[in-house]
Amino acid sequence: MENILLIGHGSPKKDANTIELVGKRLHAAVHPGCADNCVHVAYLQFAEPDIEDAIKGCVDNGATRIIIHPYFLSAGMHVTKDIPEIIKNSECLYPGVEFVYTEPLGSHEKLVQVIIDRIRASGVLLPEEIENKSFEMLTDEADFSGVDPQLHPIVKRVIHATADFEFRDTLVFHPEAVNAGLRAIAAGKSILTDVEMVRAGINKKLLGKWGGNVICAISDEEVDRLSKETGATRAEISIERNLNEDVGIIAIGNAPTALLKVIDLLNKRAMKEPPLVVGVPVGFVKAYESKALLAAQQFPFITNLSRKGGTPVAVAIVNALLKMASEES
């Protein structure tokens, strides 16, 4: 006959010693409909029964095999020393009984679901649930019927990132913008950014699926040196030095000068497949003008015709494209 013995630590606070409930649930799960007393519980200290008495109870119950599970989260001294010593003594007392000692709860993957359940029970939403709820709310609050359905994921993610519904009406897309971005991502091409904040916000995990990288050289010493020598901004120089055929998307979220440089370079260079330009710099000086110029170009672009914009908008657009690419693959 086989018995199972659950061992808890035990607490001086009596109402904290609830391992009996776990034992009952375990019994119902492993031996449904069983009326025998084949699952026992014990405590290492502070509560009864202790482990020796519980083992004796199993033997008196006719057990010839006792499976002992330490109901502990980690393999500390109690699990690796104290309980094994008690089991060793019991093996001498009951030579005809087989003792099986299991691993503690540890870091089993199913414990993650338990934690998730506990968080949900507290009324707190998980990050993904918060995001989904936010998208539901913004969809309910605004009419997107006039927006091309293909563009919904991008427009909504920008609004989600900014809490600004104005972007629904000010975002402008080249007819091939989305397709160009998705092709670039799937081809494993790199994303070139004007500033570190844009680079940091792009989802590297999604991009890495296709082997692409995010490039930003604005902090390089050589870029700084050339900026001082020429009077050009570091963003301009960084873009010019790194723009090549391996770049599939250029994301400008801060510097109008960088966007103007991109437009100039793409009009001068005969690139086999021009990159998608996500140009959404924010500000009062040249920001709107640079975006208006971008909106008149023949190469693929995404921009917005207002002074608003910035890193959150650029990052939201690129991450929306990455998510779309991931869902299509």
> What residues contact residue 32 under an 8 Å CB cut-off, 6+ apart?
none
Q: Give SS3 for 318.
A: helix
Give the C-alpha separation, 160 to 103, whole Å. Answer: 45
Give the C-alpha separation, 258 to 235, whole Å. Answer: 5
Q: For the beta carbon of residue 35, count every other beta carbon within 10 angstroms.
A: 6
Report the catalytic residues: 160
Contact criterion met (CB below 8 Å) for 137 and 130: no
Q: For the beta carbon of residue 18, count every other beta carbon within 10 angstroms.
A: 12
DSSP secondary structure letter of residue 74: S
Say what angle helices 234-242 and 256-268 make with each other, to 10 degrees: 30
Tokens 């809490």 belong to residue: 163
Q: For the beta carbon of residue 181, count every other beta carbon within 10 angstroms.
A: 28
Contact criterion met (CB below 8 Å) for 5 and 67: yes
Residue 310 φ/ψ region, left for φ over 0, alpha for ψ in the -120 to 50 degree band, beta for the rest: left
Task: Single out the residue of 199, 233, 236 nearest to residue 214, CA to CA.
Answer: 199
